[in-house]
């Protein structure tokens, strides 16, 4: 069966810049984390588990693509992803919302930063931010790194 929303998402992903793809991944992780919380609220533990696992998989994929040799921002992101994954696992195992809420708070801060990066051309850094070299944070050609001011730990 043809699903037009699947075709749209596929086109959106393939035609996006690397930074915009990272934004889409954050949006997906946040969506699944929110579904986890909603399912917990309904008492649907199976749906909560599935949503949490999907959220964890996205965060793990983001972490795996980090180029830790790129510098301190990549290492900070690695630490944030480790923290987020730990909170997601704790929320899933304990079937309590607070750890997942904490993980989502961090992801939302990172999403805001990446949305800013994806709107800013690499050739025109914002005042106070130098444009990092290509691939500064992620392997595969992301040409900008997110400011971490909005991220909470």
Q: Where are the domains of the chain?
A: 17-153
Instruction: Name the band, by pLDDT with cuts 50, 70 and 90, for residue 2.
Output: low
Q: What is the DSSP string of 91-132?
A: HHHHT-HHHHHHHHHHHHHHHHHHHHHHHS-TTSPPTT-PPP
Report how far residue 92's alpha carbon sits from residue 70's, in angstroms, rounded to the nearest whole number.
32
Q: Is the pTM of this model over 0.85?
A: no
Percent of the chain with pLDDT over 70: 69
Instruction: Give mean pLDDT, residues 94-109.
Output: 98
Task: Say whether domain 17-153 belongs to CATH 1.20.120.340.
Answer: yes
Residues contacting 136, CB < 8 A, separation 6+: 70, 71, 73, 74, 142, 143, 144, 145
The three-state secondary structure class of 85 is: helix
Q: Residues 91-104: what's their mean pLDDT?
A: 98
* pLDDT, mean of residues 128-143: 40
- Mapped onto helix, strand or coil, the DSSP state of residue 65 is coil
Which residue, among 20, 13, 21, 48, has the nearest Cα to 33 in the 3D structure? Answer: 48
Label residue 101 by pLDDT band (50, 70, 90): very high
Mean pLDDT of all residues in the chain?
Answer: 81
């Amino acid at each position: 069966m043809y699903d037009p929303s699947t075709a749209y998402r596929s086109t959106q992903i393939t035609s996006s810049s690397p930074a915009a793809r990272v934004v889409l991944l954050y949006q997906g992780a946040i969506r699944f984390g929110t579904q986890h919380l909603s399912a917990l609220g309904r008492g649907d533990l199976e749906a909560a588990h599935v949503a949490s696992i999907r959220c964890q998989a996205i965060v793990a994929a983001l972490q795996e693509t980090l180029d830790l040799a790129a510098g301190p921002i990549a290492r900070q992101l690695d630490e944030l992803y480790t923290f987020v994954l730990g909170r997601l696992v704790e929320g899933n195992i304990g079937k309590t919302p607070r750890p997942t809420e904490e993980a989502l708070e961090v992801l939302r801060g990172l999403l805001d930063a990446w949305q800013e990066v994806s709107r800013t051309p690499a050739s025109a850094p914002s005042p106070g931010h130098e444009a990092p070299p290509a691939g500064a944070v992620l392997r595969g050609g992301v040409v900008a790194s997110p400011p971490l001011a909005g991220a909470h730990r």
